C-alpha cells in the first residue's frame, strides 16, 4: 500500500516507529497531488517546498530524540479561508487574490507547533458562500467519484483532497453545512464541532454567529486526532468555550445498549432522493440491531430553518464584507472619486453569489425591514434551539441525512439559487442551534455515488459523534473506499 493510501493514524504510527520519514510521507502526497489535482482542482495554492522543509525539520527533531506530537510529520490541507502567515489566503475571491496575511489563525499555529506539514490551500465557494464549490473565482472543483458532478461546498476542495489521497487530513469551515455536505458527496467524514469549541481567530468571517472550523478525514479516528489538536479555549476568540477538552482519539467504542437514537423525519422538504431516505433508514435499523433504542424525533421548526438561515447569514455577511473597500488591503480598482473607487472595487472583486448575499443582507438590515426580517429570523433561531433541547431530553443522538441527494451535475443548479440553497436543508438547523454534527459515509446510490449520514449530539458531545462514526465504519465492508479515478491516465487507486 502506498503512503498516500494510509490513514493519518497509520502514518503517525509509522513515523513514530521510524518505518518511514516525514519527507517520504510528504513526497508521496505531493506526487499524488501532481497526478490527480490537474483533473479535479482541489487546491488553489500548493506549497511543496514549505511542506518538504517542514518534513525535514521533523525528521531532524525525531533523530535528535526530541519529544514531538503524534501527528508530527503527517501532512494536512487547509481551506483557503483560514489565515496562513506569509502564504496567500484568497477565500477563492478576486478581491483577496493576492492577499498574504501577516498572522496565522489559531488552528494554523496549532498544526505548525505540532509539526504537521501544510500541503496547500484548498478551493471553496467564494467566501464560503455556496454548496458546490462552483462559486470559486478561479475554477470549480470536481467530484472524484464522477468528474461531471460537484463535490459539494463550500469546503469542496478539502473533501476532494482527502477523498482522493491528496491529503490524509484537512481543515474546513462550516457555516450552514460547508463541511458536512461535501463530506457526504465525496464519501469522507466531516465534523462540525460545537460553536466555540474550535477557535475562529483567523477564519475569514462570513457569518460570525454561525462560522465554525472543523475537520475532514477518511476515518473517525483520524478526525479525532486532528480535533484533539485544534480544539480548546482561545483568548483571541471572544466566543471560544473554556470547557475541558477530552482526548477525542481514545475510547471510541460505542455502548449501543445504553444509546437512545432519534431518527429525524423531514417535513416539507422537496427533492429528497428516495435512496438517501433508504440509506438513513437502514442505518437506524443497524443501530437497533446492535442494541440501540431508536425512535422518531420531531423538530417542528426544521421547515423554517432554511428561511431563517438565509436571512441571518446574509445579514452577517453584509456586515462582515463591508471591510473589503480596496483601501486597507486586497484588490483595488481605480475611480474618479472615493465612492466610485469603492463601487468599482466591490463590483469587480466580488462574484455574483457574494453580491447576491450582500444585497439580501443589506436589505434585511435596512431601516423599516430589520424587525420584519432579521429580528424575526433570530426569534425563529431561538425556537429551533429549543426544539433541539427538547429532542435531547429524549435522545442522546439524532440521525438523519447529510444531504438530500447524492452529488448533482456541474452547472445543474447555478441558474437557480433557491435550488442550490436547498442543498443545505439537512445541515442548517444544526448550525443555527450551535450543536455539533458529523457526516459519515453511509452507502452508495445506484449510480455509485456516496450517500452520507448525519449524526447530531448535545453541545460539547463531539466524542459521542466520533464513536458513532467509528461504529458505522466498522460495519462497512470494506472499511472504506477510494474513488477509482479511472478517467485519469493509467487508472487510479483501488479499494483500501
Q: Which sequence positions are flagged as catalytic?
A: 79, 154, 178
**Which parts of 96-233 fold into alpha helices (H)?**
106-114, 156-163, 180-186, 220-230
Cell of 269: 422538504
HEC readout, 368-400: CCCHHHHHHHHHHHHHHHHHHHHHHHHCCEEEE
Question: What is the distance between the alpha carbons of residues 196 and 208, in angstroms, rounded to a whole number?
Answer: 11
Phi/psi at 75 (nearest 5 deg)?
-75, 165
Question: What is the distance between the alpha carbons of residues 193 and 438, in angstroms, rounded to a whole number?
Answer: 8
Phi/psi at 213 (nearest 5 deg)?
-80, 140
Question: What is the distance between the alpha carbons of residues 358 and 14, in angstroms, rounded to a whole number?
Answer: 48
277, 394, 408, 451 from 259: Cα distances, Å: 22, 11, 34, 24
Helix (H) or strand (E) holding 119, with range, is strand 118-122
Cell of 437: 454534527
Give the residue from 121, 39, 106, 34 showing the smallest Cα distance to 76.
Answer: 121
332 close to 345: Cβ distance less than 8 angstroms: yes
**Grid coordinates 502514518 are at which residue?**
11
Question: What is the distance between the alpha carbons of residues 261 and 296, in angstroms, rounded to a whole number?
Answer: 8
Amino acid at each position: 500500500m502506498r503512503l498516500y493510501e494510509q490513514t493519518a493514524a497509520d502514518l503517525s504510527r509509522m513515523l513514530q516507529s521510524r518505518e518511514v520519514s516525514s519527507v517520504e510521507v510528504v513526497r508521496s502526497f505531493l506526487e499524488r497531488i501532481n497526478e490527480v489535482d490537474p483533473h479535479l482542482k482541489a487546491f488553489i495554492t500548493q506549497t511543496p517546498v514549505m511542506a518538504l522543509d517542514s518534513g525535514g525539520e521533523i525528521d531532524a527533531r525525531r533523530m535528535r530524540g526530541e519529544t514531538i506530537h503524534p501527528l508530527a510529520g503527517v501532512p494536512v490541507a487547509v481551506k483557503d479561508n483560514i489565515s496562513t502567515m506569509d502564504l496567500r489566503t484568497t477565500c477563492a475571491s478576486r478581491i483577496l487574490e493576492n492577499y498574504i496575511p501577516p498572522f496565522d489563525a489559531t488552528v494554523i499555529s496549532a498544526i505548525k507547533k505540532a509539526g504537521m506539514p501544510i500541503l496547500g490551500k484548498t478551493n471553496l465557494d467564494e467566501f464560503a458562500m455556496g454548496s458546490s464549490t462552483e462559486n470559486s473565482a478561479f475554477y470549480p472543483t470536481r467530484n472524484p467519484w464522477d468528474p461531471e458532478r460537484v463535490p459539494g461546498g463550500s469546503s469542496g476542495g478539502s473533501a476532494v483532497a482527502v477523498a482522493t489521497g491528496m491529503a490524509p487530513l484537512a481543515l474546513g469551515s462550516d457555516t450552514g453545512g460547508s463541511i458536512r455536505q461535501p463530506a457526504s458527496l465525496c464519501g469522507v467524514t466531516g465534523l462540525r464541532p460545537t460553536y466555540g469549541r474550535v477557535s475562529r481567530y483567523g477564519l475569514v468571517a462570513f457569518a460570525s454567529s454561525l462560522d465554525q472550523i472543523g475537520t475532514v478525514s477518511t476515518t473517525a479516528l483520524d478526525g479525532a486526532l486532528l480535533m484533539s489538536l485544534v480544539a480548546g479555549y482561545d483568548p483571541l476568540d471572544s466566543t471560544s468555550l473554556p470547557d475541558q477538552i477530552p482526548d477525542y482519539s481514545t475510547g471510541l467504542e460505542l455502548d449501543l445498549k445504553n444509546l437512545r437514537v432519534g431518527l429525524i423525519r423531514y417535513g416539507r422538504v422537496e427533492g429528497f432522493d428516495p435512496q438517501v431516505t433508504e440509506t438513513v433508514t437502514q442505518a437506524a435499523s443497524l443501530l437497533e440491531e446492535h442494541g440501540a433504542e431508536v425512535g422518531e424525533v420531531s423538530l417542528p421548526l426544521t421547515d423554517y430553518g432554511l428561511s431563517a438561515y438565509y436571512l441571518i447569514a446574509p445579514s452577517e455577511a453584509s456586515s462582515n464584507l463591508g471591510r473589503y473597500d480596496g483601501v486597507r488591503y486586497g484588490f483595488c480598482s481605480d475611480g474618479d472619486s472615493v465612492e466610485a473607487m469603492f463601487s468599482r472595487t466591490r463590483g469587480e472583486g466580488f462574484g455574483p453569489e457574494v453580491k447576491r448575499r450582500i444585497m439580501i443582507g443589506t436589505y434585511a438590515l435596512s431601516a423599516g425591514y430589520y424587525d420584519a426580517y432579521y429580528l424575526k429570523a433570530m426569534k425563529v433561531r431561538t425556537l429551533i434551539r429549543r426544539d433541539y433541547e427538547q429532542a435531547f431530553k429524549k435522545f442522546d443522538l439524532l440521525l438523519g441525512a447529510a444531504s438530500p441527494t447524492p452529488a448533482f451535475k456541474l452547472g445543474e443548479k447555478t441558474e437557480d439559487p433557491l435550488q442550490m440553497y436547498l442543498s443545505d436543508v439537512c445541515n442548517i438547523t444544526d448550525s443555527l442551534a450551535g450543536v455539533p454534527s458529523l457526516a459519515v459515509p453511509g452507502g452508495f446510490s445506484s449510480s455509485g455515488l456516496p450517500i452520507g449520514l448525519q449524526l447530531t449530539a448535545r453541545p460539547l458531545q463531539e466524542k459521542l459523534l466520533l464513536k458513532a462514526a467509528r461504529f458505522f465504519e466498522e460495519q462497512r465492508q470494506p472499511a472504506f473506499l477510494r474513488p477509482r479515478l479511472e478517467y485519469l491516465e493509467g487508472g487510479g487507486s483501488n479499494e483500501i
